[in-house]
Structure 1
Amino acid sequence: MTDSRRWMWLIGVFLLGWLIYLLSPVLSPFLVAMLLAYMGDPLVDRLERHKLSRTWGVVLVFSLFSLLLLVLLLVLIPMLGRQLVRLYELAPQMLDWLQHQALPWTQAQLGLQEGFWRFDQIKEALSGHLGKTTDIVGAVLAQATASSLALLGWLGNLLLIPVVAFYLLRDWDLMVAKLRGLLPRSRESRVVQLVGECHEVLGAFMRGQLLVMLALAFIYASGLMLVGLELGLLIGVLAGLASIVPYMGFVVGFGSAVVAALFQYGGFEAYPLIGVLVVFGIGQLLEGTVLTPMLVGDRIGLHPVAVIFAILAGGQLFGFVGVLLALPMAAIIMVLLRHAHDFYKLSELYGESSGDSQEPPSPA
């Protein structure tokens, strides 16, 4: 490839990235629909192998997704909403417990001066807002009414996602075949190999890591509710979602559960603390020995620091959709960087000249 052609490719990639950045508000429903279609394609392919047409397979998969979404809306979200309201109501009491019990004990252990912790103003601010839920809802409704066009646009994008996902999922194999037919014949095998590796990594993340997160959320929430923790469902779900970053779910969930248990039982009660420790110990044991090896394996290989940076960078650039796309894009970039590393090791730039590689003569 000549230098001029390389520059043309670089300029084209830059312009494409700039165009995607400008169109990110419009592209959001299409990107989410593409993710849904990518996740549902293996299920439809499996139904096709059982002599079911592509269209009816897509209808069946969509019906399954709709049923799961309906269960989520009717069962889980109302329960989480009640626990969020309960957390909002308990916030002043938790601050009072921190101020008069937990922090004085910490202050005595660390030898801090008296009056080091001050939470009076925060407590008064939270207490002043209690009982004003109606006012908050009214303010949200007024803001939504004032920005009705934005609300209609958001609802339109939300309704557009299943429509686009249906057609993408129905024609997924056809689009992949057409894209492969457009590849240069001399580069087809190399590109197909790269796409295959990216597909393997993406499949491990999309269908593996997400299942691990859901399983951990179920284990943590069920265990904490059995222990008797009042906010067990909320803490368990948050811990499962935070498991997208290695060890982050355990740190966030275990710390929150310990604080909630100390507050709820008024001190260092052995049973709830041991119960919390057992729940998270079982969760980590199952994740390390069963869930991750069976559902994910070692195909992703992203460093925890890279995971955190990818999520923050995606959210900064593209908002919520950027958070959804951050780790899949990071996995693809990892595959490309791995091949770039191999090419660099085989290049003349990395190799040493024969004169440099000779050892200096030993002294006589």
Structure 2
Amino acid sequence: MNLRNQVLVWIGFFLVLILLLWVFRGILLPFVVGSALAYLLNPIVNQLQRWKIGRAWGTALVLLGVVAIVVSIFVMLLPLVIQQVIGLIQRLPGYAADLQALARRWAPELNQWLGPERAAQVERSVSDLLGQMVGLVGVVTTEIVNSSITVISVIGFVIVTPVVAFYLLLDWDGMVRGLHGLLPRRHKAEILGIFRDIDSSMAGVIRGQGGVLLIDAAYYATALSLIGLNFGLAVGLIAGLLSFIPFVGFGFGFTLSVGIAIVQFWPNWWMVAAVAGIFLVWQFIEGNILYPKLVGSSININPVWLMFALLAFGTLFGFLGLLLAVPLAAIGGVLVRYGVRKYKASSLYLGPGRGTGTSDVTLD
């Protein structure tokens, strides 16, 4: 197969994949989450197999343990989280009005420091930002209320997801062997190398970045609650769970927390600084310790392209698109880097007679 045909095959494959995702987007969520859960738990089940525990028993034990942990967390935290989220939504317009009132109180000092023109510009910017935040919360609330998430769909998700994960875990080795058996023998080693790179990227996305996200949520929720910030648990969880979008989780949590702290603790600037420090110190720890240790360079995607993928897939597929954006972007990155390596080894790049073959480069 020459280079042109290979490119056409891969382009056709991705177009068909996108089409199928779009057609079945309404029912794919439990299957996507179940597949991710199976991929995440497979190393644990493999370890249990090495300890002479049968695959079926190991799968059942691991899934029951995960379900027990999730149910316990929901029972303990869900009522409090819902109460705080509703309270935050109801209180947010009041916080915006209080901040505007404080800004008007600071107006004489701002006039003296910045001059009347710049002070008026700062006040307008703050008012616009607060208005946009209140509007965004209103839009999100309306979307949630008007969404198609019904009691039946939630029950279906809760039931289908563990079932999908169970059967995928049970037959994981068989699926891998079947996939290996379908690979063309001539190019099997090279294709398996690509799959290993994809597996490394998926490990970074699902295991590494997922771990960072959960640690972020736990840290922000705990730290803001301990410092006594109003709705600290809700704000911390939202900021942590949004951290899979580069800079969005930090920016949202920092802005909202500092705004609430100014209203709540005024004129105690030390408390406001402490709230800001919770985010700034953790951002440094995450960027220099957590992320390199848990994720490393396995994803290797520029944050700009990552944000583009999240926005594009989110627009096309909604919430499902947000879940799929990072894994698909990671897979795309692996394939693009492979294509670049093949191109640079070809005579198309090096010149006639200097590459690994003619311009019609094959996989070998």
TM superposition score category, shorter chain reference: 0.7 to 0.9
One-letter code aligned to 1:184: P
SS at match of 2:202: helix
One-letter code aligned to 1:230: N
After TM superposition, which residue ranges in structure 1, 4 or more long, deviate above 4 angstroms?
2-13, 106-109, 113-119
Residue matched to 2:328? 329
One-letter code aligned to 1:305: V
CA–CA distance in 2 between the matches of 1:256 and 1:97?
Answer: 13
Cα distance, 1:14–1:276 mapped onto 2, change above 3 Å:
closer
Residue matched to 1:43? 44
Cα distance, 1:321–1:285 mapped onto 2, change above 3 Å:
same
> CA offset at residue 10 of structure 1?
5.0
Kept in 1: contact 2:239–2:250 (CA 8 A): yes
> CA offset at residue 197 of structure 1?
0.6
One-letter code aligned to 1:231: F
* Match status 1:206 vs 2:214: no
Cα distance, 1:168–1:347 mapped onto 2, change above 3 Å:
same
CA–CA distance in 2 between the matches of 1:208 and 1:100?
Answer: 44
One-letter code aligned to 2:233: L
Size of the aligned set, in residue pairs, is: 333
Identify which range, 230-239 or 178-187, moves more after superposition.
230-239
Cα distance, 1:114–1:270 mapped onto 2, change above 3 Å:
closer
Residue matched to 1:29? 30
Q: Give TM-score, length-normalised by structure 1.
A: 0.81
CA–CA distance in 2 between the matches of 1:28 and 1:332?
Answer: 19
Q: Whose relative contact order is higher, 1 or 2, with alpha carbons under 8 Å and at least 6 apart? A: 2
CA–CA distance in 1 between the matches of 2:264 and 2:306?
Answer: 34
Residue matched to 1:293? 292
* Match status 1:270 vs 2:278: no
> CA offset at residue 25 of structure 1?
2.2
One-letter code aligned to 1:62: L
> CA offset at residue 287 of structure 1?
1.5
CA–CA distance in 2 between the matches of 1:177 and 1:114?
Answer: 63
One-letter code aligned to 1:349: L
CA–CA distance in 2 between the matches of 1:101 and 1:9?
Answer: 58
One-letter code aligned to 1:346: A
One-letter code aligned to 1:272: M
Kept in 1: contact 2:201–2:299 (CA 8 A): yes
CA–CA distance in 2 between the matches of 1:154 and 1:274?
Answer: 41
CA–CA distance in 1 between the matches of 2:304 and 2:9?
Answer: 34
> CA offset at residue 2 of structure 1?
5.2
SS at match of 2:318: helix
Kept in 1: contact 2:245–2:310 (CA 8 A): no
What do the CA deviations read for 1:255-298 (whole angstroms, capped 9, x no partner)? 2211110011234x122123113322431243234322221122
Residue matched to 2:227? 227
Residue matched to 1:249? 249
Kept in 2: contact 1:302–1:331 (CA 8 A): yes
Cα distance, 1:258–1:182 mapped onto 2, change above 3 Å:
same
State, as a whole percentage, how many aligned pairs show the same letter: 35
* Structure 1: gaps spanning 5 or more residues: 130-135, 355-364
* Structure 2: gaps spanning 5 or more residues: 354-364
Kept in 2: contact 1:32–1:321 (CA 8 A): no
Residue matched to 1:195? 195
**120, 126, 136: which one aligns with 1:112:** 120
